Amino acid sequence: MSVLAAASGAPSIATQLAGSGLIGLREGLEAGIVVMILVAFLVKSERRDAVKWVWLGVGVAVAMVAATFLVIHFGTSTLDGLAAEIAAGIASLVAVVIVTAMVLWMRKAARSISGDLKSGMEKALIVGPSAVLALAFFAVGREGLETALLMVGYAENTAGSAWPLIGLLLGIALAAVLTVLMYLGAVRIDMARFFKFTGAFLVVVAAGILAYGVRALQTGGLLPGAGNLAFDVSGHYDAGSWYGTVLGGILNVRPDPTVLQFGAWLIYLVIVLFLFLRPVTSAEPAPVADESAVV
């Protein structure tokens, strides 16, 4: 278990469920929309025989994502002391880099993703079942890998609790239900607004994971300035209060950040939120307002 996580205490159950649940809902809907587009295309093309290969590819991708999460998470949790801090810090930084790249990529690719998937499926059907399986595997695996890495960083601050995983699974289950309802036409969601708000949330979560990673590497001795605090409001900060559990459990905010930790958090948040929220130009495709309308 992380020294930093143990020192700050595990967030409340409700906070752990809410944070990881929203991550699961966001990432589950992204993956669900991908599967919905592929299945709808096959049904409309009268190629229902190929649907089973899509589901097989999805199953393999889910297994790969679960294995990735378990290997990284349990690999870091078996370490003790400074080695645990260094491993957790490196894992957190890697997660932040990949999650940031994927969030910014989705902002640009949202409109064209449906056409790209349909075009890819047309070619895969010509090649055969293995190509259909591979297309589904890589399309869903890309979203799942983002989820696994984000959850590794998020789970580092929960003192070994299983509640983040439960929250993630509940969020994914809700996403699956919403995806089916969207496919059946029973529910229509403003996907552009949904992914804008949840994408901004993921950026804020990633900023907290970055801050955690920097502090862990400082504790492990790989980064300097572990004793150089930017400020310390511990005397006025109640970690057990509602705001303490929210800020600490979801956003990884500490009352006593180091200068390097706080600087990394602030610079990342300003730059990445600017890149994510800046107005979309005509040369840059805008997210679709309702992904269910394109299937």
72 three-state secondary structure: helix
Tokens of 20: 């990881």
Structural domains in the chain (count):
1
196 versus 47: which is more confidently predicted? 47
**Percentage of the residues of the chain whose pLDDT score is greater than 90:** 29
Q: What predicted TM-score, i.e. pTM, was given to this entire model?
A: 0.74
Q: In Å, what is the CA distance from 170 to each residue of 17, 19, 21, 25, 205?
A: 9, 11, 6, 8, 19
CB 179 within 8 A of CB 30: no
133-178 residue pLDDT tens: 999 999 888 878 878 777 766 665 555 567 777 888 898 899 999 9
**For the residues 63-80, what does the mean pLDDT come to?**
77
Over 80: is that where the pLDDT of 186 sits? no
Phi, psi for 237 (deg, rounded to 5): -120, 115
Tokens of 292: 């269910």
pLDDT of res. 12? 62
Q: Which domain holds residue 185?
A: 3-294
**For the residues 51-78, what does the mean pLDDT come to?**
84
**Percentage of the residues of the chain whose pLDDT score is greater than 70:** 80
82-110 residue pLDDT tens: 887 888 788 889 889 988 988 888 777 76
Q: What are 229's strand-pairing partners? A: 258
Separation between Cα atoms, residue 105 and residue 251, nearest integer Å? 23
